[in-house]
Amino acid sequence: MRLKAHKLAILGLIILFIEIISAIFLPILFDLDPYNSDPVAFDAEPNEFHIMGTDSIGRDVFSRFIYGGRVSLLVGILSSLISIIVGVPLGIIAGYYKGAIEFIIMRCADVFMSFPAIVLILVLVSVIGPSVWTVTIVIGILGWPQFSRLIYGNVLSVREKEYIEAAKAIGTNDFTIITKYILPNTFAPILIAFTFRTAQAIILESSLSFLGMGVQPPQASWGNILYEAQSITVLSSQPWFWLPPGIALILTVTSINFFGDGIRDALDTKMKIVGIKKCN
Amino acid sequence: MKNYLIKRFIILIPTFFGITILVYIISTLAPGSPLDLLLGDSQVTAADIERKANELGLNEPVLIQYFHWLSGLLKGNFGISFRTNTPVLGMIMERLGPTLLLTVTATILSIFIAVPLGVMSAYKPYSLWDYISSGLAFIGTATPNFFVGLILIYIFAVNLGILPLGGMYDSSGMRHVSSLLKHLIMPVIVFSLQQVGSILRQTRGSVIEVLQEDFITMSRAKGLTEFEIILKHVLRNALIPVVTVISSMMPYIIGGAVVTEQIFSWPGLGSLMVQSINARDYPTIMGVATFIAIVVLLGNFIADLIYGALDPKISHNR
């Protein structure tokens, strides 16, 4: 089972690598243009000029697909980074200083986690106004509980060790203790949680864009290409339009999950990783 | 047990204030104010506007406004919709039924699928059952549910024509149960996929753990059949975390079907949310959000209760 997971993880990594390279280089290689319309082709079927056809305004679907990949991947990764930046310090403070602050932070984490994410994000985005940056920041900030809880658990377990006590005894200040002793133990769990959160964030962004509340046209993202598929004409007569982004989403999220499983198995031999959940 | 209950209830109160304050702050950020209509009218004098503002309580400190809003909330006043000019609570109640029909049916379906599958795959790891269940769990968590919905619509409604495209009943206006059931199938499948994954994983994990306990070996030594062991010992212990997971899905049952409802034009709370957002109907947006927030609070509390009731280790140690 370990070996099989290992192979799947490598497969996942390869797929992700291909995606990232395509997203960065294909637009340059093929001179892709997702924004301008081709005046002779509206709603065109796949042909030699447009490998995936054109949409109702004449834009090349393949270009939008690749550029959409850029956006979806970037939003996923950046928002998870934001979640780390917000969540890790909170988790450390809660675990290290304990007491009332621990209670407040962890209680907030509980409440945030039990709220259906999509509703919370929808409300915030509707008030602030949808755009790719709003979406990234909101998804990012709302991802803090997973990381906080994780770090909190880690800090709690490391806190009681003798070397921490010894460090305190010789007068090391809190900041040094946290950065030198506690943080290094958290790198692996953070990395694993980061991969799973990226997958989740990609799904969240695509759901939002699908509802029209995420990345706004003319900018493309896999989710907002699928937004077009809500019309029956597109759905029934232009499968080349909406199948690729959907399949790309599934492939990406799956690869990230496999890769995350792989890292987790690889790193889990010695550590008890507290609180990692693949939540929806 | 009573102490545990009281403790959880006491925690509920500051959490309630915390959430409502947060919701209130967000709603003040929303554009639009009750004075907009007046401000646009050139015949209205500044004094009139001032008077109206005082009447509506808009010149008072934010904290007082918050308490006005909160007391209104507790009396059932969730605001008046910009779009329909009717009370928001009424709109919520109208849409609550369809949402619950969809989500509760889907949850029950998920439980019936996921729990037996979870138990089976715990008993026979790496067997065919295990792969089927891992596959299902995986589809549930890795695929965006709207894509599954689109594919289902494409296959069954567009190409095969056996299931309807969306909505809750036929357009004929007659509300037959058979029509309802046909419209219910695809949304339920899509929604339950999301839950099957987590219930399945939790069941499998906790059954595997329980199976390793000594008292299971003891029961086998005593001569109980495997089936009896499952019923009397395994399930009772293994299902506790599963029940917790399910009860923690309560907020999700009210508010989580947004995308599903949108694809299938299902007239529930989720599509009300999307409709309101598209119409910039902020009172309704905030009203639905507040409603869901209250459900989240209650849901957490009930989940804690259930967990405490089921697991003596939790309630008796406090």
Contacts of residue B139, defined as CB under 8 A and 6 or more positions apart, other chains included, come to B148, B193, B197
Q: Does B16 touch chain A (CB under 8 A)?
A: no
- Please list every residue in chain A whose beta carbon sits closer than 8 Å to the beta carbon of residue B272: none
B255–A119: do the CB atoms touch at under 8 Å? yes
ipTM value: 0.81
pLDDT per residue as tens, chain B (318 positions): 677 778 778 878 888 888 888 888 887 777 766 666 556 666 667 777 777 777 666 667 777 878 878 888 888 778 777 777 888 888 888 888 889 999 999 999 998 888 888 888 888 777 777 777 777 787 777 888 888 888 888 888 777 777 777 777 766 666 777 778 888 888 899 898 888 888 888 888 888 888 888 887 888 888 777 777 777 777 777 777 888 788 778 888 888 888 888 888 888 888 898 888 888 888 888 888 888 888 888 888 888 777 777 776 665 654
Long-range contact list for A34-37, CB < 8 A, 24+ apart? Answer: A34/A59, A34/A60, A34/A63, A34/A64, A34/A66, A34/A67, A34/A68, A34/A218, A34/A220, A35/A59, A35/A218
Q: Which of A1, A119, A127 sits opposite B26 (nearest CB)?
A: A127
> Nearest CA to CA, how far is A278 from chain B (Å)?
8
Q: What pLDDT sits at residue A85?
A: 93
Q: Does B155 touch chain A (CB under 8 A)?
A: no
Q: Find residues 29-88 of chain B whose CB sits inside 8 Å of chain A.
A: 29-30
- Domain assignment present for B260: yes
Long-range contact list for A56-61, CB < 8 A, 24+ apart? Answer: A56/A228, A59/A33, A59/A34, A59/A35, A59/A218, A60/A32, A60/A33, A60/A34, A61/A225, A61/A240, A61/A241
CB pairs A-B closer than 8 Å = 126
Q: What pLDDT sits at residue A273?
A: 43
Q: Is the pLDDT of residue A278 over 60?
A: no
- Please list every residue in chain B whose beta carbon sits closer than 8 Å to the beta carbon of residue A237: none
Question: Which whole number is the average pLDDT over A187-204?
Answer: 91
pLDDT in tens, A36-51: 777 777 777 777 777 7
Q: Find residues 177-206 of chain B whose CB sits inside 8 Å of chain A.
A: 194, 197-198, 201
Helices within chain A (DSSP H only)? 2-30, 61-97, 99-114, 117-128, 132-141, 144-159, 162-169, 174-177, 183-211, 222-227, 232-237, 239-267
Q: Is the pLDDT of residue A52 over 80?
A: no
The model carries a pTM of 0.85
Q: Does A258 touch chain B (CB under 8 A)?
A: no
Neighbour count for residue B231 (Cβ, 10 Å)? 12
Q: What pLDDT sits at residue B106?
A: 92
> Nearest CA to CA, how far is A224 from chain B (Å)?
12
- Domain assignment present for B37: no
In a 3-state reduction of DSSP, which class is residue A54? strand
Q: What pLDDT sits at residue B231?
A: 75
Q: Does A100 touch chain B (CB under 8 A)?
A: no
Q: Does A234 touch chain B (CB under 8 A)?
A: no
d(CA A91, CA B37): 47
Q: What pLDDT sits at residue B171?
A: 67
- Domain assignment present for B142: yes
> Nearest CA to CA, how far is B298 from chain A (Å)?
11
- Domain assignment present for B76: no
pLDDT in tens, A215-238: 888 888 888 888 887 887 777 788
User: Which residue has 């970037």 as its token pair?
Assistant: A74
Mean pLDDT computed over every residue of chain A:
83
d(CA B277, CA B83): 11
> Nearest CA to CA, how far is B225 from chain A (Å)?
30
- Please list every residue in chain A whose beta carbon sits closer than 8 Å to the beta carbon of residue B256: 116, 118-119
Q: What pLDDT sits at residue B172?
A: 66
- Domain assignment present for B49: no
Q: What pLDDT sits at residue B36?
A: 63
Neighbour count for residue B113 (Cβ, 10 Å)? 18
> Nearest CA to CA, how far is B284 from chain A (Å)?
11
- Domain assignment present for B166: yes
Comparison of pLDDT for A197 and A53, the residue scoring more:
A197
d(CA B239, CA B243): 6
Q: Residue B179: which domain range? A: 95-236+243-267
By the 8 A CB rule, do A159 and A178 touch?
Answer: no
Q: Look up the CATH number of the domain holding residue B212.
A: 1.10.3720.10
Q: Does B282 touch chain A (CB under 8 A)?
A: yes
Question: Which whole number is the average pLDDT over A149-174?
Answer: 83
Choosing among B26, B126, B208, B277, which should be mutated to test the A contact, i.e. which has the most A CBs within 10 A?
B277
Q: Does B284 touch chain A (CB under 8 A)?
A: no
Q: Is the pLDDT of residue A59 over 90?
A: no
In a 3-state reduction of DSSP, which class is residue B80? strand
d(CA B122, CA B141): 20
Q: Which of A124, A226, A280 sits opposite B147 (nearest CB)?
A: A226
d(CA A140, CA B55): 40
pLDDT grade for A195, boundaries at 50, 70 and 90: very high
Tally of domains within chain B = 1
> Nearest CA to CA, how far is B43 from chain A (Å)?
31
A119–B248: do the CB atoms touch at under 8 Å? no
- Domain assignment present for B177: yes
- Domain assignment present for B73: no
Q: What pLDDT sits at residue A205?
A: 92
A278–B26: do the CB atoms touch at under 8 Å? no
B142–A242: do the CB atoms touch at under 8 Å? no
> What separation, in Å, do the N-terminal and C-terminal C-alpha atoms of chain B show?
8
Question: Which whole number is the average pLDDT over A75-98?
Answer: 90
Q: What pLDDT sits at residue A274?
A: 42
DSSP B21-38: HHHHHHHHHSS--TTHHH
